[in-house]
Amino acid sequence: MLAKFPALLLIAIGVAGFGWLWRQAQLANAAQDWPSTIGTVERSEVEWRVRRGADNHDQREYRAVVSYRYQVNGQTYSSSAIRIPDIGFGGSQTLAEDLARRYPANASIPVRYNPAKPEQACLETGAHWSVRAGQLLMLLFAAAGAFLLIRS
């Protein structure tokens, strides 16, 4: 049984990861039909962090951070979700800057919010390509685990 553990772990990670990403993609697509309200951007900037590469060279990664407030039924909410799920840091400073520029501070913007959970909101709807790439990666994990399981 111990020899099968790595294979079972790969399968479990692959299935769990794929399931989570599937749910996130469904939510991102459902957001297209959510009601919208007008919000106000409070903060819009680009953050960066240093990531150590495999060759021990530091590399910067960037992401746009957009914080906004909006109201639903007289209740004020705040969020920083641009998409569902948050696409996080990436290697392109230009893409992060372009995204932050789309939502300048103090601008009025349309905000999509979940009518069942108004605290859940986003500015852009639909599943990002990175979600689909993640799903493919999780399927590869599960397939690798199945292959190892069959071989053992």
Q: Is the pLDDT of residue 95 over 80?
A: yes
Domain ranges of the chain: 1-34+125-152, 35-120
Average pLDDT rounded to a whole number, residues 92-105: 96
CA distances from 42 to 26, 106, 150 (A): 28, 6, 54
Alpha carbon distance 23, 18 (integer Å)? 9
Q: In the structure encoding, which two tokens stand for residue 131, read together?
A: 């979600």
Q: What is the mean pLDDT of the chain?
A: 92
Q: What is the DSSP letter of 105?
A: T
Tens-place pLDDT, residues 132-146: 899 999 999 999 999
Beta-carbon contacts of residue 1 (< 8 Å; ≥ 6 apart): none
- Which pLDDT score is estimated for 1? 63
Tens-place pLDDT, residues 1-14: 677 898 899 999 99
